[in-house]
């Protein structure tokens, strides 16, 4: 049995395949970002999923691609946890950018970007991934991500910059008690996921002028820091992964065009493409 997982900060999608490369089951856990989720919570989120634990002794390989796995320490933390649960498995933990590359470009040269709960980008030359800067997460970076836009909505609401009609809907949708918000941001696990939950609000108002302006400005910031510095031409394939890119693709394409670039494809969830890649490349 082989497990393939695409793990974001909000959720992790798992697929199990057997020796004939047939899909056995799919499972979804809460996000498993080792950079922001405590070790004990990471462990609990895995062992509380019955389907995964039911076959844990049968698993021979795990290929886990995750947010927060771009630097050694958190990667090692998650790898150790997986090895402690799936004791017979060879565990490979890689950053989510690699999953995005495999899912989007199938190992062909391309510029690949993630716009989900968090954000990131890389250029893949067909063999190696090039990143311009390390990702420093939701507080300092993550431009145009779900948590980035969630922060923007909260800031506008509390500074009375949000249009009244939108603010009223915002109040109906969320608990906006200041103490409640501060506790979730500063004391609870997964503050980036909490902030990104506000961004979902934008999907229902995607045609509103106020929301469009926020999205467009955020995408331009992302292009400024995460796309344009690669100095690629409009002949370079550009792929985007994630729900933010998926739901606001029309605005994303306009911003790309403004920067003399063209988006090749947008994938909301990369797990199916990732499965196809592994079926082609795993020797059983």
Angle at 270 between CA 34 and CA 273, to 5 degrees: 130
What six digits make up the tokens of 182? 């501060």
- Where does the pLDDT of residue 272 fall: very low under 50, low under 70, confident under 90, or very high at 90 and above? confident
Q: Does domain 2-100+271-281 have CATH number 3.30.420.40?
A: yes
Percent of the chain predicted with pLDDT > 90: 69
pLDDT exceeds 90 at position 274: no
Residue holding tokens 């979902």?
200
Cβ atoms 82, 34 nearer than 8 A:
no
- Where does the pLDDT of residue 11 fall: very low under 50, low under 70, confident under 90, or very high at 90 and above? confident
pLDDT exceeds 70 at position 283: no
Tens digits of per-residue pLDDT, 14-70?
999 988 888 898 988 888 999 888 899 999 999 998 888 999 999 999 999 998 888
Angle at 196 between CA 194 and CA 197, to 5 degrees: 65
DSSP secondary structure string, 203-251?
A: GGGTTSHHHHHHHHHHHHHHIIIIIGGG---TTS-EEEESHHHHHTHHH
Mean pLDDT of the chain: 92
Reported as half-sphere exposure (CB side, CA atoms, 13 A), residue 56 has a value of: 15
Question: How far apart, in whole angstroms, are the C-alpha atoms of residue 20 and residue 119?
Answer: 35
- Predicted structure pTM score: 0.86
Shortest CA distance to 100 belongs to which of 113, 110, 91, 118?
113
What pLDDT is stored for residue 282 in this prediction?
Answer: 66
What pLDDT is stored for residue 270 in this prediction?
Answer: 87
Q: Is 72 helix (H, G, I), strand (E, B) or coil?
A: helix
């Amino acid at each position: 049995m082989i497990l393939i997982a695409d793990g974001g900060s909000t959720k992790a999608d798992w697929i199990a395949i057997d020796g004939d490369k047939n899909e056995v089951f799919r499972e979804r856990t809460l996000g498993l970002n080792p950079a922001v989720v405590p070790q004990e919570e990471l462990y609990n989120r895995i062992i509380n999923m019955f389907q995964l634990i039911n076959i844990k002794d049968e698993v021979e390989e795990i290929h886990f691609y995750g947010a927060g796995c771009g630097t050694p320490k958190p990667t090692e933390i998650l790898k150790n946890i997986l090895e402690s649960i799936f004791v017979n498995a060879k565990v490979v933990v890689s950053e989510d950018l690699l999953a995005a590359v495999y899912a989007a470009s199938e190992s062909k040269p391309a510029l690949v970007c993630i716009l989900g709960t968090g954000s990131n980008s890389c250029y893949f030359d067909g063999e190696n991934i090039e990143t311009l800067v390390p990702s420093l997460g939701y507080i300092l970076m993550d431009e145009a991500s779900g948590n980035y836009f969630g922060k923007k909505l909260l800031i506008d609401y509390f500074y009375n910059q949000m249009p009244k009609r939108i603010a009223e809907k915002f109040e109906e949708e969320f608990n906006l008690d200041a103490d409640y918000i501060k506790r979730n941001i500063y004391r609870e696990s997964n503050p980036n996921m909490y902030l990104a939950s506000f961004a979902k609000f934008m999907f229902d108002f995607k045609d509103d002028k106020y929301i469009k302006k926020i999205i467009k400005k955020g995408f331009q910031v992302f292009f400024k820091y995460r796309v344009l510095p690669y100095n690629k031409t409009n002949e370079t394939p550009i792929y985007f992964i994630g729900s933010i890119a998926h739901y606001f693709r029309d605005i994303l394409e306009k911003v790309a065009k403004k920067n003399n670039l063209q988006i090749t494809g947008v994938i909301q969830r990369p797990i199916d493409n990732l499965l196809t890649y592994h079926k082609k490349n795993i020797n059983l």
